[in-house]
Structure 1
Amino acid sequence: MQDKGATILAVDDSAATLEVISRNLAAAGYEVHTRGSVEEAGAFLDETPVDLIITDYKMPRANGLELIKHVRDNFRDTEIMMITGYPSVSGAVEAMRDGAGEYLAKPFTGEELLAAVRRILDKQARRRAAHDEKQEAGNFGIIGDCAEMQAVFALIRKASRTSANVFISGESGTGKELVARAVHYNSDRRAFAFVPVNCSAIPDTLLESELFGHVKGAFTGAKESRAGFFEIANGGTIFLDEIGDASPSMQAKLLRVMQSKEFSMVGSSRIRTVDTRIIAASHKNLRHLVDQGLFREDLFYRIHVIEIRLPSLAERGDDILMLASHFLHKFATDMNREVPRLTDEALEALQQYAWPGNVRELENLLQRLVIICDGPVIDVTDLPESMRFTITRSRHGDKTLAEVEAEHIRSVLARTGDNKTRAAEILGIDRKTLREKLKRLGLG
C-alpha cells in the first residue's frame, strides 16, 4: 500500500550506516536524505517535509529520543523508526512510547530494513486514507479511488449518455442501487422519477400489480385503481433489483414491456405505452441461471446491453479506509459527538478482513462502534473477534515463533510503560518467567 516515492530522512552519526540505509532504500524507489546529527536533521525538517525519519538511538550531543519528541511536537504526520546498536527492552519501550513506530536493532540486513520501512509506511498510508475527509466530486457521490471503482465510474459516464438498458452485477452490499441512481441522475432522464423495486421483497402474487398497476375491482381488496411502478417511472428509470429472483411468468411480462414498451394494468385489456429506462441488478450469476433453465435467455440479452460489475469490498484496497472514515464522520455527526479515531492496529484489521457483507457490513460495524465506544479512540480490541483473529494471522504469517513472541512482548511492555509486573499479568506468565524470556530473546 505504501507510496514507493515516499521521502525518507536517515539520521546517524555513522557514515557507513547512512550509506547502507541510503543505498538499500534508494534502490527500492524511495527518495532518501541523510544527516549526521539531530541538529542537522532539525534544520532539514524545517525546510523539507518527509514521510519517514530513520534515526539512531545514541548520537553525540542530542540523541534519537530527543529527535522523536521534536518530531511528535511539530510534525504529527511524519513516521519515525528507531535504530540502535544497543538493543534493550527499555530503549524500545521508551522509543515507542515517545512515538517511534518501529524499532530495529543493528546489525540489520537490507531485507530487514526494507520490511520495517514497508510496515511503517503501510501504517501511515492507512492512517492518511482513514482520516481523509475529502470526497471525490467527480465520482457521482460514490466513495472510491481504486482501479476497479475507476472502471465503474467510466461505465457510469458511458451509460449516462444513452437510454440503453443496464445490468449491474456484484455481491450483496456492494452498492448496486447507488450506481443505478448515479446512471439515472447523470442522464437526460434526471428530471423524471427514479423508481427502485426489489423483486425478491415483493411476493410474486403482488409483483405484477406493483409493476403494472391495477384497476378498481381487479381483485379482492382493489378498492380503487392504482398506477404501477412502470407508469410512475414514465420518462425516467425503473431499477429492478434482484431480477434473478423473478418468476418465469414475471420474466415473460418484463420481456414484453422491454420489447414493445407496452403493458396492461391488472384487470384491464387496455394497452398502455411507457417510455421507461430499465436498470436491473442481481447478486446471482444470471448466465448460470440461463444455463440451468431458470432465467430466460432472451430477457438476459435484453438487460445486458451495458453491464457494470461492482467489485467486492475486499477487492477495493484503500477504499475500505476511505469508507470507514466517511461512516465514522457520518454517524458521529448524526449523534452529535466527537469523531473517534481508529488506531493503526484497528485500521489494519479492517483492511485484512474479508468483508462477506461488503460495504453494508462495514457501515453497520462503524455505526455500532460509534454507539458503543465511549472514548475518542477505537482500538482493535473493540472490533469483533473474527477481525482480531484475521490481523493476528496476517501479521505473523511469515515469522518464526521466536520473532512473534519477541514482537508481542515488546508491544505489551510498550503499552504498560515497561511495567514488567503488569506485562506479565497480560501475558499470562509470572514475572520470573518474563525475565527469563527477555534474557533468552536478547531483550533483557
Structure 2
Amino acid sequence: MSKQTALVIDDERDIRELLTITLGRMNLDVETVGSVTDARERLAQRKFDLCFTDMRLPDGSGQEIIELIARQYPDTPVAMITAYGNVDAAVTALKAGAFDFVSKPVDLAMLRRLVQTALRLGEERRAESTANESKLVGDSLAMQQVRATIAKLARSQAPVYISGESGVGKELVARQIHEQGPRASGAFVPVNCGAIPSELMESEFFGHKKGSFTGAHADKDGLFQAAQGGTLFLDEVAELPLHMQVKLLRVIQEKSVRAIGGRGELAVDVRILSATHKNLAKLVDAGQFRQDLYYRINVIELRVPPLRERKEDLPKLIGRVLERLARDGGGVPAKLRPEALQALLAYDFPGNVRELENILERSVALCEDNSIDIDDLRLDLSAGRQAAAAVPPPEIARVVAPPPAPVPVEERDEPRSDLAAAVAETERAAIMKALEATRWNRTAAAKQLGLTLRQLRYRLERLGIE
C-alpha cells in the first residue's frame, strides 16, 4: 500500500525540516517547497493527501494556495501556518477553504492531531465523491421510473434480470439495488460471464479443493462463497455455456454449492442479479439458453433505457463526466462550446453512456484552451443513425435528427485552399524550429511554443511529424 502524501509550503528551512520529520514519523511521504510558483508546479504534477502552507511567501501569499486548492483540488485538505496570535489571517484562511490552521511556534502534539483529522477528512471527501459518481445521473421521466423501480426491488429478495443495451449502466443499476437493500452490508460481487474461460467456470463459481485437478495447489472459494450474505451480479449471463446453465440452475434451486473435489454441500445465502444486452427470450426460443433458468433469473425484469431515450439528461451527465476527468487529471473541468453541445444532443449514442464518456475523454485530450469544439468530438454520425433505426424510441423520447457531419478541410475531396495550406506550413515550420532548438525534447518545445504537451502531440499527429 502506497504512503499518503503531504506538501509543505514554507520559505523557512527550519519549519520545512520540522514538518518533514514529524510527518515522516507518521508514515507520510513529504515534499517541501518554498514559494507559490513551486507549489503550483508541484500540485499540478502530483496528487497530495494533505497540504500545509505558510501565510507569507517570497512571491505571494498562502491565501493564493488555499484558493487554488479549494478550486482545483477540493479533495486535498489544506491548513494554514500563521504567526502566533494572527487571528485575522486564520479567519481569512478558513473562509477561503482551509480546514484548520497551525500557529508558530508549532505545537507537535496539536500538529499530529490536526494531521489525523485532515487525513480522515480527505478520505471522507473522496468517499463522498465516489458515492456521487456511483449514483444514477438524470432527472428525466425514464430515469425517475428506473429509480422508483430500484427502490421497490431493493426491498425484495427476488432475482432480478436487468436488460438494456451495452453501455447503459446495468452494473450501476445492480449496485444500487444491492446498496439500497438489506444486504448492503454484505459483498457485491460482479462477474462478467463472458470473460471466464469455459474450462475454468465451475472452479470460479463454486471453488475447488486442493489437489482436485492439476494446478489446484490450495483450496479456493468460488464467487458464490465470496458473495455469501450479499449479492452476486451475473453480467452478460447469456454468455454462459449450456453445461454451466444447468449447474447454476441447481445452485439457485438448492441454495447450496459443491466445490470441485469437495465431499459435501455448502449452503449459500446469495441474491442473484443478472444482466445482458442480448434478447434472452429469443435465445430461449433458439435453444441457446435454458427456459427453466430463464424463468428462475427473470422473476422481475428491469429495463434500463438507452441514452437516446433520455436526451434531457445529457447536460447533467456531461457535467459529471467532465468533473471526473478534471479531478483525475488534477485540473479544472473543460467547457463545451454551444455548437458542440448541440451536436451531442443531436447524436444517437449507439454506445450509450459508455460511449459518451469515451467521446468526452478523447475531446478533453484534443481540445485547446480547455474548450471543447464540435471538431474535437469526432462523432460517428452514421453509426448513431444506424442504431436509432434498429431500435425505435418510445413516444416519451424526443430525438433530434443529427445534422450533416462537418467535414474537416483535410478530408474533403477538393484541394485544400491556399490559406489552409499556408497556415499548416507556417505551423509546421514553427514546431520544427522549436523541436530542433530543444533537441526534440517535446516538453521543452511545447513550453517554448506556449502549448501544453497534449496540444503539441495533437499537432504533431495532425501534421504528420514523427
Please classify the TM superposition score into its range, dividing by the shorter chain length.
0.5 to 0.7
| C-alpha distance in 2 between matches for 1:273 and 1:389 | 48
Quickly say closer, same or farther: Cα 1:343–1:302, change in 2 above 3 A: same
| C-alpha distance in 1 between matches for 2:403 and 2:191 | 46
Normalising by the residue count of structure 2, what TM-score does the alignment of the two structures yield? Answer: 0.54
User: 1:197-229, CA deviations, whole angstroms, 9 ceiling, x for partnerless residues?
Assistant: 100000111111001000001111000001001
Amino acid corresponding to residue 369 of structure 1 in structure 2: S
Quickly say closer, same or farther: Cα 1:184–1:390, change in 2 above 3 A: closer
- Match for residue 270 of structure 1 among 264, 267, 272: 264
Does residue 1:372 correspond to 2:354, yes or no?
no
| Counterpart in the other structure of 1:415 | none
Determine helix, strand or coil for the equivalent of 2:301.
strand
Does residue 1:152 correspond to 2:137, yes or no?
no
Does residue 1:337 correspond to 2:331, yes or no?
yes
Check conservation: 2:347, 2:402, Cα contact below 8 A.
Answer: no
Check conservation: 2:211, 2:217, Cα contact below 8 A.
Answer: yes
| Counterpart in the other structure of 1:347 | 341
| Counterpart in the other structure of 1:161 | 155
| Counterpart in the other structure of 2:287 | 293
Q: How does 1:217-228 map onto structure 2 within 5 Å?
A: 217-228=211-222
Amino acid corresponding to residue 348 of structure 1 in structure 2: Q
| Counterpart in the other structure of 2:177 | 183
Tell me the CA shift for residue 371 of structure 1: 2.3
Check conservation: 1:214, 1:225, Cα contact below 8 A.
Answer: yes
Check conservation: 2:142, 2:305, Cα contact below 8 A.
Answer: yes
| C-alpha distance in 2 between matches for 1:313 and 1:176 | 13
Amino acid corresponding to residue 378 of structure 1 in structure 2: I
Larger-gyration structure (1/2): 1
Quickly say closer, same or farther: Cα 1:240–1:384, change in 2 above 3 A: same
Structure 1: stretches of 5+ with no match in the other structure: 1-134, 398-407, 409-422, 427-444
Quickly say closer, same or farther: Cα 1:385–1:243, change in 2 above 3 A: closer
| C-alpha distance in 1 between matches for 2:247 and 2:351 | 32
Q: How many residues align?
A: 266
Determine helix, strand or coil for the equivalent of 2:195.
coil
Moved more, 359-368 or 273-282: 359-368
Amino acid corresponding to residue 274 of structure 1 in structure 2: V
Tell me the CA shift for residue 146 of structure 1: 1.3
Determine helix, strand or coil for the equivalent of 1:314.
helix
Quickly say closer, same or farther: Cα 1:356–1:198, change in 2 above 3 A: same
| C-alpha distance in 2 between matches for 1:163 and 1:224 | 34
Q: How does 1:130-279 map onto structure 2 within 5 Å?
A: 141-279=135-273
| C-alpha distance in 2 between matches for 1:190 and 1:310 | 22
| C-alpha distance in 2 between matches for 1:295 and 1:245 | 9
Tell me the CA shift for residue 389 of structure 1: 11
Higher relative contact order at CA 8 Å, sep ≥6: structure 1 or structure 2?
1
Quickly say closer, same or farther: Cα 1:394–1:234, change in 2 above 3 A: closer
Check conservation: 2:163, 2:302, Cα contact below 8 A.
Answer: yes
Check conservation: 1:159, 1:183, Cα contact below 8 A.
Answer: yes
Determine helix, strand or coil for the equivalent of 2:190.
strand
Q: How does 1:55-94 map onto structure 2 within 5 Å?
A: none
| C-alpha distance in 2 between matches for 1:182 and 1:357 | 22
Quickly say closer, same or farther: Cα 1:424–1:318, change in 2 above 3 A: farther
Tell me the CA shift for residue 328 of structure 1: 0.8
| C-alpha distance in 1 between matches for 2:155 and 2:186 | 16
Normalising by the residue count of structure 1, what TM-score does the alignment of the two structures yield? Answer: 0.56
Determine helix, strand or coil for the equivalent of 1:239.
strand
| C-alpha distance in 2 between matches for 1:203 and 1:424 | 57
Amino acid corresponding to residue 160 of structure 2 in structure 1: V
| Counterpart in the other structure of 2:297 | 303
Quickly say closer, same or farther: Cα 1:250–1:336, change in 2 above 3 A: same
| C-alpha distance in 1 between matches for 2:401 and 2:220 | 57
Check conservation: 1:352, 1:390, Cα contact below 8 A.
Answer: no
Check conservation: 2:360, 2:377, Cα contact below 8 A.
Answer: no
Structure 2: stretches of 5+ with no match in the other structure: 1-128, 386-399, 407-416, 421-466
User: 1:334-362, CA deviations, whole angstroms, 9 ceiling, x for partnerless residues?
Assistant: 21222221111100111111211111111
Quickly say closer, same or farther: Cα 1:139–1:340, change in 2 above 3 A: closer
| Counterpart in the other structure of 1:127 | none
| C-alpha distance in 2 between matches for 1:211 and 1:380 | 46
- Match for residue 284 of structure 1 among 246, 257, 278: 278
Q: How does 1:39-54 map onto structure 2 within 5 Å?
A: none
| Counterpart in the other structure of 2:355 | 361
Give % identity.
Answer: 48
Determine helix, strand or coil for the equivalent of 1:163.
coil
Tell me the CA shift for residue 294 of structure 1: 0.7
Check conservation: 2:346, 2:403, Cα contact below 8 A.
Answer: no
Tell me the CA shift for residue 396 of structure 1: 6.4
Check conservation: 1:343, 1:378, Cα contact below 8 A.
Answer: yes
Determine helix, strand or coil for the equivalent of 1:238.
strand
Determine helix, strand or coil for the equivalent of 1:318.
helix
Quickly say closer, same or farther: Cα 1:249–1:390, change in 2 above 3 A: closer
| C-alpha distance in 1 between matches for 2:370 and 2:243 | 55
| Counterpart in the other structure of 1:89 | none
State the 4+ residue runs in structure 1 displaced beyond 6 angstroms: 137-140, 388-391, 423-426
